[in-house]
Structure 1
Amino acid sequence: MPAHLTNELPAPTRILQSNKGLLLLLAEYEALRRRFNADRTAVVEILANDAGDD
């Protein structure tokens, strides 16, 4: 399995000094959530393809 699908991603780091900073942090977490979901989809595809090789 590709390492990028199993390696941990770091949490976004942002110093919150304003509402804008909070919104940017939320946007970063949303981007991570989307990346996690894309990785999970890729894992399902890999496992489905491996199951067909038996």
Structure 2
Amino acid sequence: MEVPAACAVLAAVVTLERIQSGAHYPSDVATGAVIGLAGVLLTRRAPPLILRHWL
């Protein structure tokens, strides 16, 4: 299994555990996932876009 897939599996397990234990509501976890994915997209796409406009 590749590293990103292993990280996704681990994140899913932690997500289910946090919901099952009552530490977070499902909406809290979903919101965190959306924020995390947005951060990943910005981190991966912003540098080339910034460099393209500056150069």
Scaled by the length of structure 2, what TM-score is found? 0.48
Structure in which a larger fraction of residues adopt helix: 2
- Which structure has more RCO (C-alpha within 8 Å, separation ≥ 6)? 1
